[in-house]
Structure 1
Amino acid sequence: MEMFYYLLFGGLALVVAILEFSKTTKDRINASAAFHSFKNNYLVVYSLMMAGDWLQGPYVYYLYSQYGFDKGDIGRLFIAGFGSSMLFGTIVGSLADKQGRKRACVTYCITYILSCITKHSPQYKVLMLGRVLGGIATSLLFSAFESWLVAEHNKRGFDQQWLSLTFSKAILLGNGLIAIVSGLLGNVLTDTLGFGPVAPFDAAACLLAIGMAIILSSWSENYGDPSDNKDLLTQFKGAATIIASDEKIALLGAIQSLFEGSMYTFVFLWTPALSPNGEDIPHGFIFATFMLTSMLGSSIASRVMARPSLKVEGFMQIVFILSSCSLLLPVVTTFLVPPSSVKGGSISFSGCIQLIGFCTFEGCVGIFWPAIMKMRSQYIPEEARSTIMNFFRIPLNIFVCVVLYNVNAFPITVMFGMCSIFLFMAAVLQRRLMVLAESYKSKQQDWTSMKERDTETEPLNI
């Protein structure tokens, strides 16, 4: 079965290379040198931040299990992370609009470094503290950096279309190439060099420190609402009012929660799904394969989003349906492929089929990230961007906490089936968002045409 990994990984790498090097002028966006300098600086920082996150990903569950904790204990640790992201992370993330997005990015680095340090302790309370700190950091990672980028991009007067280039490159690198390298590096540190499962967390802390130094030395500060008299509660009320008054923003939040909730549930489930009988699977190598397919997805997204004629609201419906089918595969294989009763060994035939489905899902994840970033830049108002983005994470974290709390109550196939249903619901909501967006655009064009006619027919006063 080891040959299966190499064939899958090599085939995916070849497809990604062909897609990247076969881009035509239609797939590229011409931008200024100043923009490219700004974009490259952000990509370096974002890649370091994501490397700090990805290095930890494949080994969190494994590290806890090595410390002797069972699936229920590990589930509660994961709940602590998502719960703190919902409670404390939402507050800290929302402060970015008022106190500054650059400060929030630095806070992410410090908080995540402290979380990495706690992994050296086998004490459950210390690990719980680390999960709380990690939850806060996660909220900042997925709100403060994007908010800083959009505000700084607009402040410097760059073309709005160029944002899609930065988004797609950020996902291609941060959620693709960097994730692959992180997975392989984690495998080398843990297995080849024999430093143990805590080594990737130490490497992550070092990279986060380097990224923080670049932020402090080269980034300028920007804010959301400039009003100094708005307290945090007023910010929350304002953000809630904006979401409630605009169905497009509410739909976007629901879509994000459904997809990311399924994605984070998958992160917890893929290890036990591929090794139900204690099979010896190369965690780092499989994770790198997942990230390669995510990179393939972001490469496809960058090509599609570079064409103005292809609207993101339209093609994302197909992506959500495909992702729904891919996570339904573990349920289907349960009925079609007889389960193996052999303990240990390499991955089973059923596991190979599921691995292909999981890679397909990761490809959809690679398309999802730049697409959702693009839609957020279009629909979420600048003055409350971080606050609203963290509002979106509240239902997401509630959903994941409920799933993980009941992880021992239901079979893994039931969990995957539920995720598949939620992803199909996301496709339905995406359809509704597309209809609203087209209706709004049509009304705007009619209004503009009417104003032009009124201007042309207005009598001149002589």
Structure 2
Amino acid sequence: MEIFYWMVFGGLAAVVATLELSKTSRDRINTSSAFSSFKNNYLIVYSLMMAGDWLQGPYVYYLYSQYGFGKGDIGHLFIAGFGSSMLFGTIVGSLADKQGRKRASITYCITYILSCATKHSPEYKILMVGRVLGGIATSLLFSAFESWLVAEHFKRGFDQQWLSVTFSQAIFLGNGLVAIVSGLFGNVLVDTLALGPVAPFDAAACFLAIGMAIIMSSWTENYGDPSENKDLLTQFKGAAVVIASDEKITLLGAIQSLFEGSMYTFVFLWTPALSPNGEDIPHGFIFATFMLASMLGSSIASRLMARSSLKVESYMQIVFLISAAALLLPVITSFLVVPSGEKGGGISFSGCIQLIGFCTFEACVGIFWPSIMKMRSQYIPEEARSTIMNFFRIPLNIFVCIVLYNVNAYPIVFMFGMCSVFLFVASLLQKRLRFITESQRSRSQEWTAMKETGSEAEPLNI
């Protein structure tokens, strides 16, 4: 393995270790032992769920290519996953709110295990079924678990600010440390033990089964809307009304869709971007490096969110601008660096520059997840949380499906440029969201001051 990969990995590891070891009391939030027990249970489950997801990530594209499918066919398989997430997302979100978030979490485990099982078949139709099941599972992963956590957190009477502790640690562990270990473990299964590209999917199914057992034995059920006479269509319409009537929620949904749409497009593009001429790159190790960068971002986010004076809406605008610049690097290098015509070999100079940019983008992803979770917990009403969160995924899934459907029609640099533009738009929307929240906060403080002044002045008028 080339020394460059180790240099990037080691540099990121050193920065993450320094940030974590240098944390002071100012960078931490004091909590209770009851909360710590609750948080640790959730983190174990979330880490197992993410292990089941991350083990598959680096090898989905590779497995399909090993079965003999080209970029266009693979793009259609990816479209099936995002399309099913779009079609069934709001339905499963509404069912989670109505039938229970614990049941929805168990359903996620079962659905994803079945999706993993389909990877043993080289038949295109069976792989397509697996992608559909995976799309449904993804909708549940990014709605049911967070909805259960937020509802259970407030039901147990914990402080709202403590949510940021769980969010940041969940991303640090589940989207960082677990992802790194998963990438390296997948590399061992596929390359060292030579078990083939389907081995990580079998391992993922095992972790999902363990997590499901913990959920069934230790979680209590909670619901969204307590009304029993609301059907799915009514819930769906109610969520749409809430989104349309509150500009903050509308902006939050647009920001999330733009960022996640760019992120999922990046997931598809990074492999061909780093090996345009069939260069031999260590997929698992690079994936682990990306997750280490994400860990760095979540460590930064935990410090930012620990400061009550610093609002999430303020720093996220800068994060979106940095991420836009990072994904613009492939476009810049295509003009400034002369491409190599040689087939195979190691990573090119242009690939090295892009890898650094991709790591920067992943660091922004690490900041994005806990930050968007905190904003969702503040803005989205509890009774339709899962439904609204899956509503947000509709435009992002449409965006990704369009990109993947046209994957052969446009060069990769065009797609990266498009993602960069969308991230820049997200920064502008974040600026608008910050303006609205600060204006409302200012009006609220003025109203409170007027009420206090009035109550103090009242005895003088008697």
TM interval, short-chain normalised: over 0.9
The answer to whether the 8 A contact 1:105-1:140 is kept is yes
State TM-score, norm by structure 1. Answer: 0.99
Instruction: Spell out, residue by residue over 1:211-235, the C-alpha distance to the aligned partner (whole angstroms, 9 max, x if none).
Output: 0000000000000010000000000
Q: Distance in 2 between matches of 1:186 and 1:433?
A: 40
Q: Tell me which residue corresponds to 1:105.
A: 105
Counterpart residue number, 2:126: 126
Query: How is 1:196-207 mapped onto 2 (pairs within 5 angstroms)?
Result: 196-207=196-207
Relative to 1, partners in 2 of residues 1:195 and 1:432: Cα closer, same or farther, differing over 3 Å? same
Separation (CA, whole Å) in 2 of partners of 1:155 and 1:448: 27
Q: Partner of 1:338 in structure 2?
A: 338
Q: Is the 2:83–2:135 Cα contact (8 Å) retained in structure 1?
A: yes
Question: What is the match of residue 285 of structure 2?
Answer: 285
Match of 1:365 in 2: 365
Q: Distance in 2 between matches of 1:398 and 1:125?
A: 22
Instruction: Describe the SS at the equivalent of 1:225.
Output: coil
Kindly indicate whether the alpha-carbon contact (under 8 Å) linking 2:89 and 2:391 is maintained by their aligned counterparts in 1. no
Aligned match of 1:301: 301
Deviation at 1:138, TM superposition (A): 0.2
**Shift in Å, 1:90:** 2.2
2:347 maps to: 347
CA–CA distance in structure 2, aligned partners of residues 249 and 295 of structure 1: 27
Q: Deviations over 1:246-288 (max 9, x none)?
A: 0000000000000000000000000000000001100000000
Alpha-carbon distance in structure 2 between the residues aligned to 1:273 and 1:182: 22
* Residue 92 (structure 1) shift: 1.1
Is 2:386 the counterpart of 1:386?
Answer: yes
Q: What is the CA-CA distance between 1:445 and the residue it aligns to?
A: 1.1
Alignment map for 1:45-444 (pairs within 5 Å): 45-444=45-444
Which amino acid in structure 1 is aligned with residue 373 of structure 2? Answer: M
Give the counterpart letter for 1:178 in structure 2: V
Letter in 1 for 2:3: M
Paired residue secondary structure (1:120) = coil
Deviates more, 1:49-58 or 1:441-450: 441-450
The CA deviation at 1:295 is: 0.2
Q: How does 1:24-43 map to 2 (within 5 A)?
A: 24-43=24-43
How many angstroms apart in 1 are the aligned matches of 2:460 and 2:448?
A: 21
- Output the CA distance in 2 between the equivalents of 1:447 and 1:256: 32
Q: Distance in 1 between matches of 2:406 and 2:313?
A: 34
Instruction: Name the structure 2 match of 1:17.
Output: 17
- 2:241 partner SS: helix
Instruction: In structure 2, give the amino acid aligned to 1:411.
Output: P
User: C-alpha separation between the residues in 1 aligned to 2:251 and 2:331?
Assistant: 28
Runs of 4+ in 1 over 4 A off after TM superposition: 459-462
The CA deviation at 1:7 is 1.0
Structure-2 separation of matches of 1:90 and 1:130: 20
Query: Aligned partners of 1:457, 1:113: CA distance in 2, in Å?
Result: 66
1:281–1:347 contact (8 Å) kept in structure 2: yes
Deviations 1:157-216 (A, max 9, x none): 000010000000000000000000000000000010000000000000000000000000
Identity %: 83
CA 460–237 in structure 1, closer or farther in 2 if over 3 Å, else same: farther
1:421 partner letter: V
Q: How many residues align?
A: 462
Question: 1:406, 1:132 → 2: CA distance?
Answer: 20
CA distance in 2 between counterparts of 1:328 and 1:263 reads: 13
Cα distance in 1 between the residues matched to 2:121 and 2:144: 29
In 2, Cα distance between equivalents of 1:94 and 1:129: 23
Find the aligned partners of 2:194 and 2:257 in 1 and give their Cα distance: 38
User: Distance between the aligned counterparts of 1:53 and 1:172, measured in 2?
Assistant: 15
Q: How much has 1:448 moved relative to structure 2?
A: 1.5
- Rounded Cα–Cα distance in structure 2 between residues aligned with 1:459 and 1:286: 70
Distance in 2 (alpha carbons) for counterparts of 1:433 and 1:182: 36
- For residues 7 and 94 of structure 1, the distance between their equivalents in structure 2, rounded to whole angstroms, comes to 46
Q: Distance in 2 between matches of 1:76 and 1:52?
A: 23
Q: Residue 135 of structure 2: SS of its match in structure 1?
A: helix
Native 8 Å contact 1:89 1:137 kept in 2? no
Do the aligned residues in 1 keep the contact of 2:16 with 2:299 (CA within 8 Å)? yes
Q: CA RMSD in A?
A: 1.1
Deviations 1:23-54 (A, max 9, x none): 01100110000000000000000000000000
**Aligned 8 A contact 2:90 2:236 in 1:** no
- C-alpha deviation, 1:15, in angstroms: 0.7
Tell me by how many angstroms 1:75 deviates: 0.3
Q: Does the CA-based 8 Å contact 2:258-2:423 persist in structure 1?
A: yes
Alignment partners' CA distance in 2, 1:457 and 1:141: 54
- Classify the secondary structure of the residue corresponding to 1:458: helix
Whether the 8 Å CA contact 1:100–1:223 is kept in 2: the answer is: yes
SS of the residue 2:87 aligns to: helix
Contact 1:320 1:423 in 2 (8 A): yes
User: CA–CA distance in 2 between the matches of 1:323 and 1:315?
Assistant: 13
- Letter of the 2:362 counterpart: E
- Segments of structure 1 that go 5 or more residues without pairing to the other structure are none
